[in-house]
Structure 1
């Protein structure tokens, strides 16, 4: 099907979809330490917020494999929304996860606490 204008991923998701929540929460997190870790040479890297959003949404939906996360950015409207219609490859996702494992763990705790505070998460949901 051809479109006069490219579709917006946002139009294809319900207003209160989990993917929207993930993007909104990750945008509120302090990612400056991650941002500072990137050098100024080479090609522009994917923003840490984008990569973290993919990982958080993946964890929340049971998708953990870097290859499956990469594929989801092509195949899933929700993942395409979270990834801003970008498609980081599995090596990029895996390298980011390894490089910032400690930081990601702390940020995941923040995400879970925010979700619990907003009533999006019940303690029985984790396990």
Structure 2
């Protein structure tokens, strides 16, 4: 008997020609992308919102902001995890165009722009609630065809609105605190380099051979 087998890892396979083909028209990352592109980061007081004409090139704050909003929507709660997801998550590859900021760049962006990021989070979450996008009941986002709704829960009086805003602020602050705490906890984590990984694999294979020898003797 045999098991279902996957393809050989070094076999060539045909992928879509464009990374955009991986992202459906109703994917939430299209909303994040369109939303951030409309923002004036200078007016929102983001650091380095205007590119410098001298010195080393830096990341566009809009790309790092998109990364953070995606992280917030998907509960990714550390800079190292955001770094990792940017290298393996197709949605993020599309969203920030295969950029690979390291965890320190990601963490520094948050530290330098904490208040501005929180303001944007509140705007984005409020907008998603208004459009009823948390269930992602939306089509053709890039063509601005959003589902309209006028249910009771979308009608706000002053007291109701204040309560919702307070709830949003608490959740956003909770998320930002988690990021800070997790970054501190992960400061001592050392990432294995390619050679160390090869050595560990070699060691595991050697252990397997030894185990097989012991079994065969018995």
User: Structure 1 runs of 4+ off > 3 angstroms?
Assistant: 38-41
Secondary structure at 1:71's aligned position in 2?
helix
- 2:87 aligns to what? 74
Equivalent-residue separation in structure 2 for 1:92 and 1:51 (angstroms) = 9
1:85 aligns with 2:98: yes
**What TM-score, normalized by structure 1, do the two folds share?**
0.85
Equivalent-residue separation in structure 2 for 1:12 and 1:121 (angstroms) = 21
- 2:39 aligns to what? 29
Number of residue pairs matched? Answer: 123
- 1:121 aligns to what? 134
- 1:10 aligns to what? 20
Equivalent-residue separation in structure 2 for 1:104 and 1:51 (angstroms) = 10
Equivalent-residue separation in structure 1 for 2:16 and 2:105 (angstroms) = 27
Whether the aligned pair in 1 keeps the contact of 2:29 and 2:91 (CA below 8 Å) is yes
Secondary structure at 1:16's aligned position in 2?
coil
- Larger radius of gyration, structure 1 or 2? 2
Structure 1 vs Structure 2 CA RMSD:
2.2
Q: Residues 6, 14 of structure 1: CA spacing in aligned structure 2 closer, same or farther, 3 A cutoff? A: closer
Whether the aligned pair in 1 keeps the contact of 2:69 and 2:121 (CA below 8 Å) is yes
Task: Pick from 31, 41, 54 the counterpart of residue 41 of structure 1.
Answer: 54
Whether the aligned pair in 1 keeps the contact of 2:79 and 2:104 (CA below 8 Å) is yes
Equivalent-residue separation in structure 1 for 2:126 and 2:85 (angstroms) = 26
- 1:56 aligns to what? 69
Q: Which moved more, 1:95-104 or 1:27-36?
A: 27-36
Q: Cα deviation per residue 1:58-99 (whole Å; 9 max; x = unaligned)? A: 110111211111111111101111111111111110000000
How far off its partner does 1:42 sit? 2.1
Equivalent-residue separation in structure 2 for 1:42 and 1:90 (angstroms) = 21
- 1:98 aligns to what? 111
5+ residue gaps in structure 1? none
Q: Cα deviation per residue 1:88-126 (whole Å; 9 max; x = unaligned)? A: 111110000000000000111111121122211378xx7
Equivalent-residue separation in structure 2 for 1:11 and 1:121 (angstroms) = 23
5+ residue gaps in structure 2? 1-11, 136-163, 172-218
